[in-house]
Structure 1
Amino acid sequence: MKFPQLLAVLALACVLAACQGEAPASGAVSHVDEGAGHDEGEGGHGHDEGEESPSTVIPAAVAEKTGIKTQPAGPGVIADEHEVQGLLTPVEGRVAQVTARFPGPIRSARANVGDRVRAGQVLATIESNLSLSNYNVTAPIAGVVTSRSASVGALAGDGAPLFEVADLSQLWVDLHIFGADAQHIQPGVPVMVTRMSDGETAQTTLERVLPGMSTSSQSTVARATIENSDGLWRPGSAVKARITVAQQPVALLVPLAALQTMDGAEVVFVREGERYRAQPVQLGVRDARQVEVREGINQGDEVVVEQSYLLKADIGKEGAAHEH
């Protein structure tokens, strides 16, 4: 058990011990192996009456304090997803080179890397060697200055690049797909892109799969576009993404975080008032976040979806005490 989980288990044990020291009216905790049946509801997901289901009682205040949360089990969609990585790049056609029209010394430079500029804004002034008069160099598009080579007093050559301005309000996400995975990925499918720096996500759609191969990685490149109005997605940054290639509706599902293993069986914890019952379940298809439940619980059952390991530890502790 990881150290943070161990601390949470110890915290629950301390709170429960305090509750047990109070008068019975305060909601003391008890542990039972009972055969309280749970009638099979519509959809055929119930379990047989008379099955013994280990359970524990935890007062609502204790459950809230220790972070135990539930949500009703219900229908949903299981996604067939491919996890890939990629890079953010500027959109082609949204990067402009700012050059000198006539050679001559640079008299002023008015923008630095990182500055936001508008179309037509003066970036530098150059004295033309031909006319000996000054002329302005302006930004051809609105965007961010991404590079600058202009220095006051330096000689600007004819057509020499002085600045680069990029419109970064949208970025391409170039995702690298290897091997047979490329055969299953087609344009038009959903893509969830995640920034590696802070975990921020953006939902988009795969636009195209490029016909060639990336020579450096020998991968197929799939491309999507994300919005970047706040400028926090940065060109050149590595990202990871989930490409959804298929979706399968299911009658009943729960988050993977709801699952625990007890006595070799997969279980979820169903809340009935202040009692939490460990209910064995038969599982079906799953994705990275959730799993289909084919038997064991009914639609609408309140299933523990956070801190389920605390309940497993609490029931296991009581079971060990009985063995002695």
Structure 2
Amino acid sequence: MKPRFLFAPGAVLAAGALALISPHILPQAARTTFAWAGPGHDHGPAGKHGADKSQKASDKQAAGDKQAAGHDHDDEGLVHMTPEQAASHGVDVAVAGPGVLSMSLSAPGVIAPDSDRIARIAARVVGTVAVLNKRLGDAVEKGEIVAELDSREVAEARSEYFAALTNLELQKTLFAREQELWNRRVSAEQQYLRARNTLREVELRVELAAQKLTALGLSPGDVAASRNAGPGAAQSFQRYPLRSSIRGRVVERRVDLGAPVGGEGQEKELYVIADLSKVWIDLAIPADELSRIHEGQEVRVAAQDGAATKGRVIFVSPMLTPDTRSARVIAELDNDGLRWRPGGFVTARVTIGEEPVGLRIPRAAAQTINGRPAVFVQAPEGFRIRNVSLGRDDGVHVAVTSGLTAGERVATRNAFLLKAELGKAEAEHAH
């Protein structure tokens, strides 16, 4: 029995010819018609031109990246700053080179006035404050009158001296007359001898009265003025001047006008005057370090605000303090401009030896960056960071054992500003 078809064979071939025919039996030209030519594919003139443009852009980008990478490498660790900018920011530069480190012993100290340069202006008599010529902080010259008192004791002493002077003049006249009569053999020798003895007694009273005035603190000039004063000046003898025994400044005033002084339970001192042109640094040195401390050694003193100066050891106590087992050591400093104020705290370094080194830099030049010691070396375009190895340190200079050569210039004062600028530049580069 022959099979039966729903559709005619010709119709089936006409409807599904393309689906049923295998590509392998199609002509070559038909297969070429369906080939894909995407972007950048080198097929035809247009595709080749697009590929050339893409390659050039890629090469240009690569060259730019390479240049940027090289520029970042050159600027790494560099702070751009001209010499003029460095000067305006207070950045100083020093040359690294050989030198000497001063080995020293460090100890805390207290500034104190020189005890030989302090004067306490005290009343030696009982009286009342009549005049105060100086205020706190005023400058005083040696021998200048700083105050005056009204004192009955002084008035009595001066009156006694004035009476002795008057009697002396009378006895001189009487003695001159008796001497003339004795020379002419008119009077007896006994009268002449009695007049001479009386004159000597009066001269002795004058000397005793003058010494009493001197003991009360009156100067020889005041005594001479009393000698030359007339009878009407006796009323002014109660005025007692107080003079400064040193040149300095008034650092303390303890009385007011009209205050009683010199008596029982009353103030004795009127002023305290100090000459602060030189001050002391009072140090406490442990007993085991005393063998290295000697009078005349140099002392470098630094305050908390960065001020520094030099002085000399003038005293090493032979006694130890029982509580601390330390000895008192005193250094003397020049104090021009009154920079060093008594009562302030300082750090003192006593020089105990010297050590030559092949290369040293100021201590302020050494910075710590990323946990390592480094310095900023001056370059034509600014300052470049350089890691170094450091050796001994004397507080002012530090030895450099590697990382730096003699003759290179490094930033010293305000080098921390360069460190801050470097940190900002690295932060910006990271972002």
Q: Deviations over 1:243-284 (max 9, x none)?
A: 22222121112345334456x865545445338666554443
The count of residues paired between Structure 1 and Structure 2 equals 272
Q: CA separation in 2, counterparts of 1:243 and 1:71?
A: 25
Instruction: Output aligned runs, 1:139-288, within 5 Å.
Output: 139-157=244-262, 160-178=268-286, 180-196=288-304, 198-214=305-321, 218-256=325-363, 257-260=365-368, 266-274=373-381, 279-288=386-395
Q: Which range moves more in the overlay, 301-310 or 131-140? A: 301-310
Alignment RMSD, CA only?
Answer: 3.8
Identity %: 29
- Residue equivalent to 2:147: 124
- Residue equivalent to 2:229: none
> AA paired with 2:340?
W
CA contact (8 A) 2:282 2:330 kept: yes
- Residue equivalent to 1:36: none
TM-score, normalised to structure 2, is 0.53
- Residue equivalent to 1:135: 240
Change (3 A) 1:110 1:274: closer
Q: Deviations over 1:170-215 (max 9, x none)?
A: 112112223533333222222122344x433221122221222356
Change (3 A) 1:56 1:62: farther
Q: Deviations over 1:114-163 (max 9, x none)?
A: 22212222222222224362222222222222333333333332693332
**Which blocks of at least 5 consecutive residues in structure 2 are unaligned?**
1-68, 157-237
Change (3 A) 1:74 1:129: same
Change (3 A) 1:162 1:271: closer
Q: Which range moves more in the overlay, 235-244 or 155-164? A: 155-164
Q: CA separation in 2, counterparts of 1:229 and 1:299?
A: 37
Instruction: Output aligned runs, 1:273-312, within 5 Å.
Output: 273-274=380-381, 279-305=386-412, 306-307=415-416, 309=419
User: SS of the residue aligned with 1:93?
Assistant: helix
Q: CA separation in 2, counterparts of 1:102 and 1:275?
A: 74
1:73 aligned onto 2:181: no
Higher Rg: 2
> How far has the Cα of 1:106 moved from its partner?
2.5
Change (3 A) 1:213 1:153: same
Change (3 A) 1:320 1:63: farther
Q: CA separation in 2, counterparts of 1:249 and 1:99?
A: 55
- Residue equivalent to 1:82: 105
CA contact (8 A) 2:101 2:394 kept: yes
TM-score, normalised to structure 1, is 0.67
CA contact (8 A) 2:145 2:242 kept: yes
Change (3 A) 1:86 1:259: closer
Q: Which has the higher strand share?
A: 1
**Which blocks of at least 5 consecutive residues in structure 1 are unaligned?**
1-27, 34-53
- Out of 122, 126, 135, which is 1:112 matched to? 135
